Amino acid sequence: MDNSHVSTLQLKHAGIERQIHEELGRPIPDAATIQALKKKKLKIKEEMARY
């Protein structure tokens, strides 16, 4: 796999991290949304680890 794919995964990972922080900053964070975002983030992290 090439570096551009890994870079894309890193950008997605950072974007999800930002979404999680935004959700946590809300007056009433949605736990289900946060959980879903964390699952997506973990899948991306696992894919990056394979490369």
Question: For 8-46, what is each residue's pLDDT tens digit?
Answer: 999 999 999 999 999 999 999 999 999 999 999 999 999
* Nearest alpha carbon to residue 20 among 4, 44, 3, 48: 44
Whole-model pTM: value is: 0.85
pLDDT reported for residue 1: 53
What's at 50, amino acid-wise?
Answer: R
pLDDT reported for residue 3: 86
More confident residue, 20 or 50: 20
